[in-house]
Amino acid sequence: MINSSKSKSRSCFILIVQIKIDIMNVKHLILIIILVSYNKANAQKIYTTEEGHIMMMTLVDDKPFKAESHKLALYLDYNTKVVNGVLDLKSLSTDNVEINTMLTEEEEPLILRFTGTIPSEDFLSKRHDPINFSWPVNVSYQGKNYKSQFKATVTHIEQGISMSCLISARGQVLVVDTGLDSLIQGVDKTIEVQFSQLVLKLE
């Protein structure tokens, strides 16, 4: 009888422990689902592309110079309408063989960053006429930060049932503010920058 009681007690104890473990596993599973859902919801608030197009034009030794890249990374926050751009200048392709060689031989990335806010709350929620605006942009390169003013346009593009817009901008940056004159010898005082990127509304 004693052994039988002990066996029953041991069985009850094992059952209680197993129930507690199962409850803990369910709690962990629920927590994982919540975290995954939260991260997925947050990720859907940011439109990302790493294939944006950017072009730069200036004079080098008093001759026209053009450089472009299709590796401009753009990040648009749907909630705040903040656009962040990141470009490694080493990805630029130019019509100048010497400058191409110089860029490819640089060991460290030459990261140029810019950020600005689009002054419209609903440009991705409904059809609209082109939105033209003066766009203050903060630019940083090699530890230097400065401000520039771009002329920008947001144009609605028909893409079936999906909402999409083309963001295009053009502006000038002063070479002395960037330090690019130490990288490219004989470059003019200003560089004209323009880029365009189609953005889609995430459902």
Tokens (6 digits) for 170:
């053009």
Q: Which phi and psi angles does 80 have, rounded to 5°?
A: -95, -15
Question: Looking at 43-117, which runs of residues are DSSP E strands?
Answer: 46-60, 63-77, 82-88, 93-94, 111-117
Residue 77 · residue 48 · CB < 8 Å: no
DSSP state of 126: S
Nearest to 48 by CA among 161, 160, 165, 202: 202
Fold held by 47-200: Lipocalin (2.40.128)
DSSP state of 189: S
- Helix or strand holding residue 191 (H, E): strand 190-200
Task: Render pLDDT for 55-97 as a digit per residue (tens, 0 to 9).
Answer: 999 998 888 989 899 999 988 888 888 888 899 988 888 888 8
C-alpha 31 chain-centroid distance: 29
User: What's this model's pTM, rounded to 2 decimal places?
Assistant: 0.68
Report the distance separating Cα 82 and Cα 177, nearest Å: 23
Domain ranges of the chain: 1-43, 47-200
Task: Render pLDDT for 157-190 as a digit per residue (tens, 0 to 9).
Answer: 776 666 678 888 999 888 887 777 777 888 898 9
